[in-house]
Amino acid sequence: MTLISALNHIHKTGLFGNHENKNEENLLKVSEIKNLLIVQIVQYKNSTVLFENLDIDSLKLNNEPLSVVSNNDTRILWNGPKNWLLVSTKKDLLKNIIEAFKETDFAVTDLSHSRAIIELEGQDAKEVLKKGCPFNFNILEKNNSINSTYNGIAFTVDMIDNNPDKIRLFALRSFGESLYHSITDASLEFGFKSL
Amino acid sequence: MLHIKCPHCGLRSQNEFSYGGDATVKRPELNKEVSDQDWDNFVYLRKSPRGKHLELWQHISGCRQWIKVERDTLTHEIFKTLKANEEI
């Protein structure tokens, strides 16, 4: 079976917007990220298991708001109280997660094929987000994540790096094209390179 | 535009929240005889105060948790926010 990515029909490579007379290196970069394992992990309210003792890819779950725990392959985003979103390039991690998180205490859901992922990289990345999202992005630091809305579309923001800003946006797959349209429209002012 | 401090996520825009009604309404106790009048009051009867009001809100585009918000319906000033299981 051929896998068709969420933004396959809308994402085109090239230079767009106000890019003329600008150094291509400094331009905002927009790309689609594919082939990631995305798993939602939720601990049931009546569960007494200590999630701090559980281990995924040498990472421990953290119940701190906005926090992301990460290594080179895997990032675990705080999504809400006892609610996490795991994103990993290791596709076979799902088996380990299902084994470690017993179904009597945790709801583990594979969302790999139900999210569209857009990555923004460059000094204007936060400015693009400010144009459609009510969150104060000045306080968002490296390894922070939030859930919010962009032009009314619910999305998750994962701040991967801050030098330069590298931000991943997750939206429901069915809203992916709308979010992509909104993000690229807001990026035209700065000029962007679509990878 | 209101800014509501979610007890889980911090200060966020009202855009991310959904209003959930009066937080002081108590459901009639289970397995007890309830008159039609009491049930009708529980389902439909709401106060419309001018001033302090304890409300339920859901952080629908954030952590998805229900929270309680004490808000002035006249000035929109927010005095306090609590987790849904906390009492004021």
Provide the ipTM.
Answer: 0.89
Structural domain spans, chain B:
1-22+50-88
B chain contacts of residue A80, beta-carbon cutoff 8 Å: 8, 62-65
What integer pLDDT is reported at residue B31 of this predicted model?
87
What integer pLDDT is reported at residue A1 of this predicted model?
66
Largest Cα–Cα separation, chain B: 44
Other Cβ atoms less than 10 A from the Cβ of A7: the count is: 20
Q: Which of B2, B63, B83 to mutate to test the interface with A (most CBs of A within 10 A)?
A: B63
What integer pLDDT is reported at residue A55 of this predicted model?
87
Other Cβ atoms less than 10 A from the Cβ of A141: the count is: 9
CA distance A147 to chain B (A): 5
> A172 and chain B: CB distance < 8 Å anywhere?
no
DSSP letter at B29 equals P
CATH code, residues B1-22+50-88: 3.30.2270.10
Q: Average pLDDT in the B10-36 region?
A: 93
What integer pLDDT is reported at residue A95 of this predicted model?
93
CA distance A29 to chain B (A): 26
Residue A40 amino acid letter: Q
Give the pLDDT band (50/70/90) at residue B88. confident
Nearest Cβ partner for A80 among B8, B13, B15: B8
Dihedral (C-alpha) A99, A103, A106, A107: value to the nearest 10 degrees?
100
**Using an 8 Å Cβ cutoff, are A73 and A57 in contact?**
yes
> B20 and chain A: CB distance < 8 Å anywhere?
no
Residue B6 amino acid letter: C
Topology annotation, domain A14-34+114-194: Gyrase A; domain 2 (3.30.1360)
What integer pLDDT is reported at residue A3 of this predicted model?
82
Beta strands (DSSP E) in chain B are 3-6, 10-13, 18-22, 52-58, 66-72, 78-83
pLDDT averaged over every residue in chain B: 94
Q: Which of B6, B16, B59, B60 to mutate to test the interface with A (most CBs of A within 10 A)?
A: B16
Which residue ranges in chain A fall short of pLDDT 70?
1
Cβ contact (<8 Å) for B65 and A81? yes
What integer pLDDT is reported at residue A2 of this predicted model?
75
Q: Which of A140, A146, A155 to mutate to test the interface with B (most CBs of B within 10 A)?
A: A146
What integer pLDDT is reported at residue A153 of this predicted model?
96
What integer pLDDT is reported at residue A53 of this predicted model?
86
Residue B40: pLDDT above 90?
A: yes
B chain contacts of residue A157, beta-carbon cutoff 8 Å: none
Nearest Cβ partner for A80 among B11, B12, B63: B63
What integer pLDDT is reported at residue A186 of this predicted model?
97
